[in-house]
């Protein structure tokens, strides 16, 4: 039988959630102030850019992101409308789709990173020593 969490465990849990929410809120606000799309768009663009041809089957993209199929589909619709990606029929499976990155999408990804990267540094890198960062990574891996 699973025990109930201690108050210390609940405090750690609460801090994890609050830190994630605060960091994401701050970064999203910066992106919005720069007229850039939200981080979920960056995640899609990043996954596509990791492929040499900038293309992934829709199923592969779904597996690499933390979005439900419905939410991903709506997100991709908006990104297609903004001409950052294309959605094509998979020639090897006519029912499947291939999502491809284009030059505009690569450009927007770089613009987002120009805000996102420094924000990560400010909110994490500037506040933790290398040793603390190593310890944090080690501890978080234990929770994965």
What's the distance, Cα to Cα, between the start and end of the chain in Å?
21
Tokens of 95: 């029912």
Place of tokens 């990574």: 137
Q: Does 60 map to a domain?
A: yes
Q: Provide, rounded to the nearest whole percent, the portion of the chain with pLDDT above 70.
A: 99
Q: Does 49 map to a domain?
A: yes
Q: In DSSP terms, which residues pair with 121 in a beta bridge?
A: none
Q: Does 9 map to a domain?
A: no
For residue 125, give the CATH number of its domain.
1.10.10.10
Contact 72, 65 (CB under 8 A): yes
| Least confident residue range of 35-39, 52-56, 92-96, 133-137 | 92-96
Task: Give every CB contact of residue 47 below 8 A, 6+ residues apart in sequence.
Answer: 56, 61, 64, 65
Residue 76 has pLDDT above 90, yes or no: yes
* pLDDT recorded at residue 144: 87
R_g (Cα) of the chain, nearest Å: 18
Strands in 93-101's sheet, in edge-to-edge order, are 55-57, 93-101, 85-90
**pLDDT tens digit string along 81-124?**
999 999 999 888 888 889 999 999 999 999 999 999 999 999 99
pTM: 0.87
Structural domain boundaries, residue 86: 22-143
């Amino acid at each position: 039988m699973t025990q109930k969490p201690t108050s210390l465990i609940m405090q750690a849990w609460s801090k994890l959630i609050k830190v994630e929410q605060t960091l994401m809120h701050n970064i999203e606000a910066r992106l919005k102030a720069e007229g850039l799309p939200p981080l979920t768009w960056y995640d899609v663009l990043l996954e596509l850019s990791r492929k040499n041809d900038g293309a992934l089957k829709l199923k592969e993209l779904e597996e690499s992101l933390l979005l439900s199929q419905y939410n991903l589909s709506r997100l991709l619709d908006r990104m297609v409308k903004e001409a950052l990606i294309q959605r094509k029929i998979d020639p090897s499976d006519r029912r499947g789709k291939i999502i491809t990155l284009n030059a505009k999408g690569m450009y927007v990804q770089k613009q987002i990173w120009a805000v996102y990267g420094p924000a990560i540094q400010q909110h994490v890198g500037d506040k933790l020593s290398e040793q603390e960062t190593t310890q944090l990574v080690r501890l978080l891996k234990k929770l994965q």
